[in-house]
Amino acid sequence: MSKSKDLSENKKPLTDEQYRKLFARIDQGFALIEKISTPVGVQSNYRYLAVNAAFEKHTGLRDVEGKTILELVPEAEERILNYYDSVVAEGQQIAFEDHIKSMDMWMAADVIPTEDSERIIVLFTNITERKRVEKILRENEQRKGFFLRLTDALRPFDNPATIQELVTKQAMDFFQADRCYYCEIEHGNAIIRRDASVQYLPSVAGIYPLYSMPLFDTVIRAGRPLIVNDIEKSTIIDANVHALCLQLKVISFIDVPVIKNGTAVGLLCVVQSKPREWTHFETTIAEELAERAWAAVTRAKSEEMARIAEERLRSLNEAFLTTVNGSPLVESLQILTEIISRETSGEARSSFHLFNEDNTRLITVRAVGNMPDAFANWMDSIDADSYPLTCGHIDAKGASKLASDITLEPLWLPHLDMAKAYDIRSYWCFGLNWANTTLGILALYFSRNQQASPGYLTLATAITQAASIIISRHMDIRKRILAEEKYRTLFDSIDQGFCIVEVIFNRNNEALDYRFVEANPAFYKQTGLENAVGKTMRELAPDHEAFWFETYGKIALTGIPGRFEHTAESLESWYDVYAFRIGEARERKVAIIFNDIKDRINSEEAERLRNYILLEQSEQIALLGSWEYDLLQSVFIWSDGMYKLFNLEKGIAIEPEIYLKYATKECRAKAEHLVRLIKSGASDFDERIELKIGTQLKILHLKARIIYNQQGHPVKVLGVDRDITATFLAEEKIRKMEADQQLEIFRQTLNAQEEERRRISESLHNGLGQMLYGIKLSVGNLTINDALRSPENYAEAKKYTDRLLMEGIRESRRISHELMPTMLEDFGLEAAVDDICKQLTNGTLFHCVYENLNRRLPKYMELAVYRTIQELMLNIVKHSEASSATVSIVNNNKEIIIEVKDNGVGMQAANYAKQGIGLASIKNKVKLLNGKVRIDSTPQRGTLVRVVMPYQ
């Protein structure tokens, strides 16, 4: 625009050639056009004289020079040509932005006059993309504003019908439509709670079966929006739907289904009573609006259901509490009927009917529900098998029976007059079932035909379940009353003492006392107490032992029953007791069954005393102690011998964890294991453990056995601890002596062998050496001259020489395997091993490494190391096919470490498991020295032998 303005203000207009040169280089489209003379009344036309490259880029037109606009674009808009006519006629530059529909583009143009009045210049830019972005931004603002207003409008409301009304009203205003409504799709029905429409159109709110709404069915089956701009021109509207649309004044519309998990759940309809071109933007808004409407309605319905469920739950709790508190059955059932009336908005009336004892008749529960007594009298007069409410099904199977129209039920036909009198058109019956027994029925009555809906069925299920529980509870109460009468008879007649106590605790859950709740006659007889019920034990016997309070307190807290025998010194008696928790844990009640065993205990006590004295003497002699752990009472009891073993004062309280207290660090884990075994009674055990008692180290041998009751449950652990410290130390001493003796034998053996080898070495020097010297002299005399001069003497000398050689050979063979390694004797281990390396290095190159061998070792150790290395190196040469090997000897002042490694063929595990003579010899020698041998070998990857010999 700025460039063209400058051009128009030039005092001297540019020539055509100047324009061409100028605009050939710019990005804007350029065209020099000339008006063609046309008859009056005929649309103007222009011929292209020149265009630039940008013209073709912006318009997509090619080879336009010399052609007219109408030739190239026959549908060219007349208003665009009128812009050009204005400039030609007035000679004034103009600018405009307009949409050229024939070319599907937006253009911003400057039209400039030239020197030739019939010629003009059009300088333009394709602004289609800019207009598209502006449209998107504008539509986004519209969309945002619409949904923001909708959200604000919906915020205060939670009723599904109100939400539908607001959604459709807002949508109708936004689309400027004639009608808008939202359908909920449930169980084959389209439910329109509210709609919005202009004044001259009637409301379409209601419930419609989908089979009666072909248009809805078409949209739902398609699963995508259905857009019709004009039903008269639409090819997808059949004759029936067309007639229905005309009847309802539906000429154009958008129908958007809401699909969830492959199922249609809703449908939004926007309707116009005249043809209308629905835009893509409007369709998009309709799709989003449908989703938002579904979400808002679903949320509202969920909240409504939650409120209903909460109210129902409160009422059910009230009904249950009424039952628990012992109120009459009718009070609880009346609460249930009030729930039904409230949640059905009074549409459903109800009554409860219970079977008599022989299941031959249903008896109406009076004063419950909202059916009159006259109706109840009539129902009670009918046999159960012909009862119209049950239709012969409930009593047999406990199944539900639903009838939306009683005129179609055969068993009701004789009673239709009665049904009419009480305004009954539909009924539902539900069995009250408990523990596989049908107790009766719940009946619902409706004044119109009522199809079963999920909401009503859910309500009926909840009520029948609650009623079944409440009725069964009342039946149980009646049975309990009868049982209590029988219990009281038994309670008063048994010989065993029986009582129920309520244990009293302090804030730390420590049992302080217990109060008697019940007691039978035998209780008073066996305890000597009087008027105990309502009083505490400390009131009746202030000096009663703490054991009884602690024991009953533990049973009340844990619920673990206990059976035991114990003295009651305050009552001057002994009792055999079985106690168990009764009632809820919070009640802290314990039932106690007991017998007075004082006479038996007195006769057993003398025998027990004799046995105890004998046991005490035996424990002192054998350095042992015995113990007992009561699994039911968690009581750990020691004999006197156990206290002596642990140097503890007799009689102090002991727990199994005492083994943890005295266990040495090495035996800590074993002590924990022993404590678990004792306290769990899991199994018998036989263990040793090391304890540090004072400054003394003791080794105890523990042996325990589990004692089971008649039912096979563990009740006690009996054990014996024996001090085996002296025995253990003696055994250790013997083992050490044997080891020292074996080592000394080995040392003496090696010394003897080396002494023998030294002797053999001297024999070689003094015996075989002298013999060889004599042979040398004898051979020196065997000359040719001697043979010629005296053949006989020569032959005799030759025979003598042969004898000397044979004796030398025999002597050499005899001592060849007994040679003493003189290099080791004279120069030490390092020089001797170097000598072996030099001798054996031929096909295999040996590399020897030493560490800390500058100080001589004892002869037996040096010889053992030397023979071991010699044997290992010979094995490499004979068997490994190795090209190189490393020999390492390290003295760390604690042990000698030998490592021999080669790069040969290696050994299979099975092969070196089958030891040859060499390896066996090495292992035996090393074992005698308390050493270890380890062999690591992999086929084709060599062998490593590691030998460790302890050395001080």
Q: Look at residue 844 and give its three-state secondary structure.
A: coil
Structure tokens at 139: 């539509």
> Is the CB of residue 112 less than 8 Å from the CB of residue 4?
yes
Of residues 19 and 159, more confidently modeled: 159
Please tell me which of 289-303, 496-510, 645-659, 694-708 the model is most confident about, judged by mean pLDDT. 496-510
Structure tokens at 14: 């540019």
Tens digits of per-residue pLDDT, 868-887? 888 888 888 888 888 899 99
Q: In the prediction, which pLDDT does 393 show?
A: 39
Residue 274 CB neighbours (<10 A): 9
Instruction: Name the amino acid, one letter, at 770.
Output: Q
Share of the chain above pLDDT 70, in %: 86
Structure tokens at 148: 């923001």
Please tell me which of 191-195, 511-515, 857-861 the model is most confident about, judged by mean pLDDT. 511-515
The model's confidence at residue 86, banded by pLDDT at 50, 70 and 90, is very high
* Global confidence as pTM: 0.40
Evaluate if residue 619 carries a pLDDT over 60: no
- What sections of 816-914 are H helices per DSSP? 822-827, 829-840, 859-875, 909-913
Q: Give the separation between CA 948 and CA 927, rounded to whole angstroms.
A: 10
Tens digits of per-residue pLDDT, 312-340? 889 989 988 888 888 888 888 999 999 99
Instruction: Name the amino acid, one letter, at 264.
Output: A
| Those residues with Cβ within 8 angstroms of residue 609's Cβ, 6 or more apart along the chain or in another chain | none
Reference 92, options 101, 100, 83; nearest CA is 83
The average pLDDT across 623-649 equals 87
Structure tokens at 303: 């909240």
| Those residues with Cβ within 8 angstroms of residue 752's Cβ, 6 or more apart along the chain or in another chain | none
Edge-first strand listing for the sheet containing 362-364: 362-364, 349-355, 437-446, 426-434, 401-403
The average pLDDT across 787-800 equals 76
The average pLDDT across 514-521 equals 93
Q: Give the separation between CA 57 and CA 215, rounded to whole angstroms.
A: 48
Structure tokens at 98: 């307009």
Beta bridge partners of 690: 699
For residue 276, how far is the Cα from the chain centroid? 58
